[in-house]
C-alpha cells in the first residue's frame, strides 16, 4: 500500500505542503497539513461497524508523534489515531472515526 508520503518524493513534500496544505487545528494547535480523505467503509476488525478514514501529513517538528489508539481532535471533530509513520521530517497520521 502506497502512503501519501511515498507518493510525494523527498523534498517535494515541503513544496506540496506549501502549495496544497490547508490550515487545520489538531488538539487546539493550528497547523498546515496535507489532508487526504480516504472515504468510509466497513471496519475490517469489527462486524457491522463503518468508519471514515483520513490521512494527514504535517511537519514532524510541529507535532509530537501520536500513538495508535490515541484520541485526536481535528478541526473540532474527535478522531482516533490508527497509525503514524515518520520520514524526512514529516509525519503521516492515519485517523478514523466510527460513522455507524
Number of domains in the chain: 1
Please give the residue range of the domain that contains residue 17. 4-98
Cα dist. 89→51, 59, 82 in Å?
29, 6, 20
- For cell 510525494, name the residue: 8
| DSSP annotation of 4 | H
How many Cβ atoms are within 10 Å of 58's Cβ, its own excluded?
21
- Contact, 95 vs 56, CB < 8 A? yes
The CATH number that applies at residue 63 is: 2.40.10
The pLDDT of residue 57? 94
Rounded Cα gap, residues 50 and 100, in angstroms: 5
What are the CB-based long-range contacts (under 8 Å, 24+) for 44-47?
none
11 against 92, higher pLDDT: 92
pLDDT(5) > 90: no
Q: pTM of the full predicted structure?
A: 0.84
Tens digits of residue pLDDT in 12-64? 778 888 899 999 999 999 999 999 998 888 877 778 889 999 999 999 999 99
Amino acid at each position: 500500500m502506497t502512503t501519501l508520503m511515498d507518493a510525494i518524493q523527498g523534498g517535494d513534500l515541503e513544496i506540496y505542503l506549501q502549495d496544497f496544505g490547508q490550515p487545520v487545528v489538531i488538539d487546539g494547535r493550528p497547523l498546515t497539513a496535507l489532508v487526504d480523505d480516504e472515504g468510509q467503509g466497513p471496519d475490517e476488525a469489527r462486524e457491522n461497524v463503518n468508519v471514515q478514514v483520513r490521512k494527514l501529513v504535517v511537519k514532524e517538528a510541529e507535532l509530537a508523534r501520536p500513538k495508535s489508539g490515541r484520541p485526536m481532535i481535528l478541526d473540532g471533530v474527535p478522531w482516533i489515531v490508527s497509525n503514524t509513520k515518520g520520514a524526512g521530517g514529516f509525519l503521516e497520521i492515519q485517523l478514523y472515526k466510527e460513522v455507524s
